[in-house]
Chain A
Amino acid sequence: MAEYKLMKGNEVLAEAAIRCGCDGYFGYPITPQSEVMETLMARQPWTETGMVVLQAESEVAAINMVYGAAGSGKKVMTSSSSPGISLMSEGISYIAGAELPCLIVNVQRGGPGLGTIQPSQADYFQTVKGGGHGDYRLIVLAPSSVQEMNDFVGLGFELAFKYRNPAMILTDGALGQMMEKVKLSDYQPRWTKEEIEEKWGSWATTGKTATRKKNIVTSLEMDPGRMEQNNIRFQKKFSEIEENEVRYEAIQCDDAEYILVAFGTSSRVCQKSVELARAKGLKVGLLRPITLYPFPKKAIKELARKVKGFLSVEMSAGQMVEDIKLAVYEAGSTVRVNHFGRMGGIIPTPEEVVEALEEKFSWELSYGVKRSY
């Protein structure tokens, strides 16, 4: 039998970082993700793999340390929670603008402002629509179990390096604090200097040799013509990401008349809502986006042509619901897309979700599909 451990999501993020050959972690403590750095400090990976773990003086410093280290082709990461991610947003935009790979983890808490330390999903807009300035995107992975907290660290780095773009794990306080059975990844050695030069020598600042051209890491380009060319290149990259990297899980969607769409913690709640609804005779399925960017638009469009409605279930006032509406609109469908959510650190119960579904789709449940609004 494989060796299973019982660990918190936050502890697993730290352990997965060490095991995937991460070169450096720079962070600043904030609840509910402080265990990430606590675990790293207790594990002392610098004695084992040589990985650097550093508590910066602030989130702003931490993300700029990530920027610097990423520029030299190293595998580096940071983690924080909502208010801390806001502080990092300028740096994230710079990293995206300089086309550097890194992994950022947001263990969301309730906002706005300092808000609360309880779980929330209200940073969806910030994560998938910007956060920082300019036309950039993050590759966004949304784990829904402690096992996926392990798996997505390696995957996040892989995608970040594949596209030279920052990747983010968007999770929340519930998954960070929760303990579940987890099978940790095997150890991978850190890249050697030679390996980094071989893999990323075309852009990484590894020390210029006499034979190769200068690598310059910057997001600044004073010539607007060239800056537009940069943007065109970025957009081409994002199209490729949208084409190749969509990940989602469909649960009981085949015969479903109503689709719950939820990610992370709320998708776990919705799995039970599907069971409860089906026990009542309602044909309900769950579509769980695993990548929030790229969003599983195509899957929603296909479902939009056959179901009676979508309910976006989020721990927010309704953010992802806009992306579902766009996909349904593009499919030429008129089925209704509703939202149900709790805010400010409250997680909905599975029962509440079923009640909301019945209430918001009472018209469809009585008369069938609504053809116009």
Chain B
Amino acid sequence: MTEELIIAGFGGQGVLSMGKILAYSGIMEDKEVTWFPSYGPEMRGGTANVTVIISDTRISSPIVKHFDTAIILNQQSMDKFEKAVKPGGTLLYDPNGVIHPPTRTDINIYKVEATRTAVEMGNPKVFNMIVFGSYLSVRPILTLDNVEKGLEKSLPERYHKTIPLNLEAIKKGQEIVETVLEV
């Protein structure tokens, strides 16, 4: 199993930390992992993206042209990465901030109202964990047990009290994800 994934959105949406929690959860599942961020001018106030690769075997290139899965959280990223999903791959997006929904017909498309749900849950910061939950629902490559361990490892101790809230958001994301298209 090798999952090559890109998470793309605005800086501040928790794109990089979602990738980090995903990668740490992969380690807990005894997988090889690579987390490769965009760094530089774009992360200072513009778009942010991170490539995460989770595999049973040694990981080769951190530079990926075609992804198994793209998690897309704004329009700029949709413009850039919808076309980068492998045929038969998966695209998950939050319609909030995406003006032109994806149009491809050869990939699985799911959407999650994560922005709205995070506000409803009373904490906009759990936005990325809702998206993460939806991802785990459509790409069940990791167990929730290992995700919980991944959270423990990637969050500094002083934030460990937020783990139940994060898990709640992940479960919420698993529930509310909607199928747009399955091929």
Contact = CB atoms under 8 A, between A and B. Distances in A.
Contacts of B36: 174, 177-179
A271 B34 contact: no
A348 B33 contact: no
A129 interface: no
A242 interface: no
B61 A271 contact: yes
Contacts of B23: 6, 179
B39 interface: yes
A271 B23 CA distance: 21
B125 interface: no
B183 interface: no
Interface in A315-373: 347-351
B114 to A, nearest CB: 24
A173 interface: yes
Contacts of B3: none
B97 interface: no
A1 B62 contact: no
Contacts of B63: 268-269, 347-350
B83 interface: no
Nearest to A268: B61
A272 B61 contact: yes
A32 interface: yes
Contact of B62 (A4, A116, A268): A268
B30 A1 contact: yes
Nearest to B53: A180
Contacts of B153: 5-6
For the residues of A in contact with B, the DSSP-based class is mixed
Interface of B: 20, 23-24, 27, 30, 32-37, 39-40, 58-65, 153-154
B50 to A, nearest CB: 9
Which of A32, A173, A270, A349 lies at the interface centre, i.e. has the most chain B CB atoms within 10 A of its CB?
Answer: A349
A271 B60 contact: yes
A117 B39 contact: yes
A117 B20 CA distance: 22
A316 to B, nearest CB: 16
- Bin chain A's interface residue count: 20 to 34
B35 A272 contact: no
Given A6-B24, A179-B23, A350 B60 contact: yes
Interface in A45-76: none
A219 interface: no
A90 interface: no
B60 A180 contact: no
Contact of A32 (B33, B39, B59): B39
A87 B20 CA distance: 35
Nearest to A274: B60
A241 B37 CA distance: 37
A181 B33 contact: yes
B47 to A, nearest CB: 15
A180 B40 contact: no
Contacts of B30: 1
Contacts of B60: 268-269, 271-272, 275, 350
Given A179-B23, A181-B27, A350 B35 contact: no
